[in-house]
Amino acid sequence: MDEPKPHYQKLKHFILRHITNGDWPARSRVPSENELTAKFGLSRMTVNRALRELTDAGVLTRVQGVGTFVAGPKAESAMFEVRNIREEIQSRGQTHSVQVLICETVEARSSVTTNFGLIPGTELFHSRLLHHSDDKPVQLEDRFVQPSVAPDYLDIDFHTEIPHQYLMRVAPLERAEHVIEAETASKRLAAQLKINEGDPLLVLTRRTWSRGQVASFVRLIHPASRYRFVGTFQVGAPLTP
Element (H, E) at 37: helix 33-40
Per CATH, 7-70 and 85-223 having the same topology is answered: no
Cis before 223 (ω within 30): no
* The amino acid at 81: E
Name residue 60's beta-bridge partners.
70
**Residue 200 CB neighbour total at 10 angstroms:** 26
Domain boundaries along the sequence of the chain: 7-70, 85-223
85-223, superfamily in CATH? Chorismate lyase-like (3.40.1410.10)
- Please classify residue 219 by burial: count the beta carbons closer than 10 Å to its beta carbon, then call 0-12 exposed, 13-18 middle and 19+ buried: middle
Alpha-carbon separation of residue 39 from 8, 25, 32, 67 (angstroms)? 14, 21, 10, 17
Read off the pLDDT of residues 63-107 as tens digits, 9 standing for 90 and up.
Answer: 777 788 887 644 333 335 556 888 888 877 888 999 999 999 999
Read off the pLDDT of residues 143-200 as tens digits, 9 standing for 90 and up.
Answer: 999 999 999 999 999 999 999 999 989 988 888 888 888 888 899 999 999 998 888 8
CATH number of the 7-70 domain: 1.10.10.10
The structure's pTM equals 0.65
